[in-house]
A and B are shown apart, each in its own frame.
Chain A
Amino acid sequence: MLKAYLIKRALMTIPTMLILLTIIFLIMRVLPGDPVAAIVGTKAPPEVIQSVTRRLGLDQPYHIQYINYLSDLLRGDLGRSMIWGRRPVIDEIMDHFPATLELSISAFMVSILIGIITGTEAARKFRSKFDQVLRFYGILTYSLFIPWFGIMLQLIFSVYLKLLPVGGRIDPFMEPEKITGLYLLDSILTLNIPSFFNALSHLVLPSITLGVYISGVFTRTVRSNMLEVLRKDYITAARARGIPENVVVYRHALKNAFIPILTMMGLQFALLLAGAVLTETTFSWPGMGTFLLERIMYRDYTTVQGTVVFIALLIVSISLLVDIMYAYLDPRIRFR
């Protein structure tokens, strides 16, 4: 039964993916902007414009372009970069993806830590002053402008206190040997302690910036789910058995609240990526966001399109993954 559910869920990603790809196609090709002008500028000589148009297949009618676009993607071909030796876009993305992944994971951990503790305590002290303050915290983080928050942290911790680097992912020549592309993990695997601390010091501020940004949503989600779970009969029943309050809250209740929280977190992955783009540019973090904007500046049209497609793929797969995890975590689904 579980298998059937998972297969059904996996099949459901196909229309979603197709729609996203179509939307991207529409934006990149059909919107009144001119991709060729975006690449070579409006003042380029006609023959240059013509050759670029042909190279991109933009002289074909839309439906042919659309079919070509989809069939390329189906073969796993995201196209080739228009600058720097026409490297396959997927290779370039893979160069930058681990940086984004590393930042996302650590920011996620920061936000989960903040979210779970504050959300749970707010639910326990429902309607107290503390609850009100946390509510404002949630509203505030929703309105947080990442670049500004990042810059403030840079000013305080890097410029004035000189504790942490302003930006970048690691100092030159300090990169650990590449295994996974995640510097922290790689430096542990190769027992490269200086690299580890160097990479960690670079990671702190961006992770806090991005982590705080998404923690507000987590706080809210955790709080509302915990409020609901804490009112359940089995929580009262657990207390009635003499289970200490902290165990009741953090083991019984949190575990039950966690499944809906997990689903919410799957949805927040988009928010995480959105925040990552801004965090990366603020901290010169060489991830996909920085990469995307850099290529936008270089007018590398195919790479921009490829990166956006990749992000779409990533989102769809993560949400699938979250659902699979959900199915495994909840015995009511697992044993159905």
Chain B
Amino acid sequence: MKCLLNINELKVYYFTRRGVVRAVDGVSLNISRGEVLGLVGESGSGKSTLGISLLGLVPPPGRVVGGSIIFDGIELTKLSADEFAKIRGRRISMIFQDPMTSLNPLMKIGDHLMETIMIHENIPKNEARERSIKALEEVGIPPERFNDYPHQFSGGMRQRVMIALAILLNPDLIIADEPTTALDVIVQAQIIDLLNNLRKQYNMSILLISHDIGVVSEIADKIAVMYAGHLVEMADVDVIFKDPLHPYTSALLRAVPLIESKYEKLYYIPGSPPDLVNPPKGCRFHPRCPHATDICRTREPRTVSIEDHIVKCWMYCDTYE
């Protein structure tokens, strides 16, 4: 498959009063065309920052301090504000976590769509309107709701609107940041199904960001695991499930409530994610890692790759170097 997005050694820091928060600290990954990459990690692991940085919208006091993001041959980190605005929504779009707050409460649903089309394409109003209605139908919203306001929609319906907005201009890449977290379980499944269908239909790539490896595995081709600003493991979804290398990934998998394993007590990872102003020396996971050794506490592990399986852990550096 052809590579669509190439992130190399990306660093995104927040410069707060408390100190520098290294939210994304040297992450590299690729997304191919038509591929769904699931990005998982606990809250505060930097996965959302990574997602928003692809749109150049890291909120102050944060900014991209290093590395590169090459999207379809374009270096995104070097774009001017105007050039970036042309890519957002048209070539890369985004679905947000909380559909209740992601729509402008004073704008009609239809106007959200029409505005987006007309900003990017120079087409007459009625044509924009037709396309908007079509996009809404595609996500299962009847045309008569075109002139409703967001507060008249349920959470699941609003997320459908967000999806309609995201696919509206047929982008190459959709970043979906916890798209189902705020929804109840049945609606979650519907939204995931919808995303899956649309993606097949349009051959779009999706970066699916979630704390829930279970949700991600339903549609992802590949899974990347982030911990404390680092990418700790990345592999095909079945490889990750069958043969997780990083202790953190294994811990994450054991925390998933699977129906087959109901006899087992639900596992949770002891300790809490580190403070990113003062991350632990060495491997950032070592304070919570059951296999931590002396080297883990002093030196940061390299990222090693075994075929398509990437892992950042000392357990594998020695063996495969």
Contacts and interface: CB of A to CB of B under 8 A. Distances in A.
Contacts of B151: 331-332, 335
A80 to B, nearest CB: 49
Given A239-B57, A242-B88, A245-B81, A331 B149 contact: yes
A242 B106 contact: no
Interface residues of A, number: 23
A192 interface: no
Contacts of A335: 149, 151-152
B89 A240 contact: yes
A6 to B, nearest CB: 20
A331 B153 CA distance: 13
Interface string B56-90: 01011000000000000000000001100111111
B55 A240 contact: yes
Contacts of B120: 242
Interface stretch (A30-38, A55-63, A161-169, A230-238): A230-238
B274 to A, nearest CB: 26
B98 interface: yes
Which of the four size classes fits the interface of chain B?
A: 20 to 34
Interface in B137-168: 149, 151-152, 162, 165
Nearest to A258: B106
Contacts of B104: 234, 238, 252, 255-256
Interface string B90-134: 100110101001111111000000011001100000000000000
Nearest to B57: A239
Interface of A is mostly: helix
A242 B101 contact: no
A314 interface: no
A243 B89 contact: yes
Nearest to B165: A241
Contact of A243 (B59, B81, B96, B119): B119
Given A233-B101, A331-B149, A331-B151, A255 B85 contact: no
Contacts of B162: 237
Nearest to B152: A335
Contacts of A238: 104
A256 B116 CA distance: 18
Closest 10 CB pairs of A and B: A242-B89, A241-B89, A242-B88, A233-B101, A240-B94, A237-B102, A331-B149, A234-B104, A233-B102, A241-B116
Contacts of A244: 82, 85, 119
Nearest to B99: A233
Interface in B212-245: none
